[in-house]
Amino acid sequence: MKSFQNITMSLKCLPNLCSALSVTPNDILMGEYGLTEAAANSMLHGITKDLTEYDNRLLLGVAENMRKFKKAANRNQQFNTLH
């Protein structure tokens, strides 16, 4: 896997990148930003488009376990709040 840590970006690219990710330049320059649902879906599609069927099944299994864990954590939090 390639590492992109040492790549620099021209300022001409910044507005286009911000538009594609639905974020502001400050979000990128400060290193923290929350993705919109559309941007997250677009990024996920880009990452997964070349995966094998096995990789996709593995990724779906991970996502399903994350969903179950989140549901269980929410139930525990609600239970602890009530008691």
- Phi, then psi, of 8 in degrees rounded to 5: -100, 155
* Residue 31: per-residue pLDDT: 65
**CA–CA distance, 81 with 79 (Å, rounded to integer):** 5
> What pLDDT, on a 0 to 100 scale, did the predictor assign at position 61?
93
61 shares its domain with 39: no
Determine the structural domain holding residue 80 and report its residue range. 51-83
Q: Same domain for 40 and 56?
A: no
Tell me how crowded residue 14 is: count the other CB atoms within 10 A of its CB: 13
Q: Is the distance from CB of 25 to CB of 18 less than 8 angstroms?
A: yes
Kindly give the confidence (pLDDT) of every residue in the chain, 83 residues in length, as a single tens digit, with 9 standing for 90 and above: 455 556 666 778 888 888 888 777 877 777 665 667 787 888 888 888 888 999 989 999 998 999 899 888 888 777 666 66
Work out how many domains the chain is built from and give that number: 2
**Within this chain, do residues 36 and 56 fall inside the same structural domain, yes or no?**
no
Are 44 and 75 within one domain? no
**H helix intervals, the chain:** 13-21, 25-29, 37-48, 53-82
Its pTM stands at 0.44
Distance separating alpha carbons of residues 23 and 42, to the nearest angstrom = 14
